[in-house]
Amino acid sequence: MTDKITVLYCRLSQDDMIDSESNSITNQKAILKQYAEDNGFSNPIFYVDDGVSGTTWERSGFKAMLADIESGKVGTVITKDLSRLGRDYLKTGELIEIVFPDYDVCYITVNENVDTAKSENELMEFKNIFNDWYARDCSKKIRTP
């Protein structure tokens, strides 16, 4: 049994609130908690950024999570989907492909079946690009009169 924590990371931006109730922090927490319990992940801890865009990395919950990763406290990070971690495909890819492995952290998404402990993540990069494009498109729509 490990003493490392399992991060259950939730994020919701103001723009995401228009999508549907399924993207709420409350529902993300329920989905992540159930997944962790069903799959035997120990020491689950929530890190939450409510009302913060995934295009910025200036998020208090994200920063706290990253600090704990860098101090060796984290074994696994679980999000509902890739877009909850971030919408900048380069930075999100760097986290998943470089930072997390450097600290021996596994990354899992519940809805998209990403699990970096397994090697079946071929579409992950494309999903990250689409998440980035979505954020850029929303930004353009908001700025256009």
- Read off the pLDDT band of 112 (50, 70, 90): confident
More confident residue, 143 or 97: 97
Report whether pLDDT(140) > 60: no
Question: What CA–CA distance (Å, rounded) separates 83 from 89?
Answer: 9
CATH number attached to the domain at 5-143 = 3.40.50.1390
Q: Which of 13-17, 47-51, 81-85, 127-131 has the lowest mean pLDDT?
A: 127-131
* pTM (two decimals): 0.79
The percent of residues above 70 in pLDDT, for the chain, comes to 73
Are the CB atoms for 80 and 63 separated by under 8 Å?
Answer: no
pLDDT for 66 equals: 97
**Angstrom distance (rounded) from CA 63 to CA 57:** 8
Polymer length of the chain:
145
The pair of three-digit structure tokens given for residue 113, joined into one six-digit string? 């079946």
